[in-house]
Amino acid sequence: MSKLSFAAIVFVIGFSGSVAAQSSDQRGVCKADYDKHCAGIAPGGGRVVACLNQQRTQLSDACKKAIDSKKAIDSRKAQ
């Protein structure tokens, strides 16, 4: 395996871990908002994010930033 291939694999693995960490961080940041506004919503299919977006004016600033960050990541993935 060439050094370039190895470097590419390390980069992809490292990037994947940072995305997973961001997702976990976002859940933590929005947990109180979820518990307060969307506790009856079952996770999956974007339902929780949709609920939080509907309650956006009542969310904490940190949660709003996390949601916006997720939207930015998702839009980059779609390109």
**What is the SS3 assignment for the chain?**
CCHHHHHHHHHHHHHHHHHHHHHHHHHHHHHHHHHHHCCCCCCCCCHHHHHHHHCHHHCCHHHHHHHHHHHHHHHHHHC
The model scores a pTM over 0.85 = no
Residue 65 structure tokens: 């930033």
Tell me: the pLDDT tens digits for 22-71?
466 667 899 999 999 999 999 889 898 899 999 999 999 999 998 888 77
Residue 10 structure tokens: 């390390």
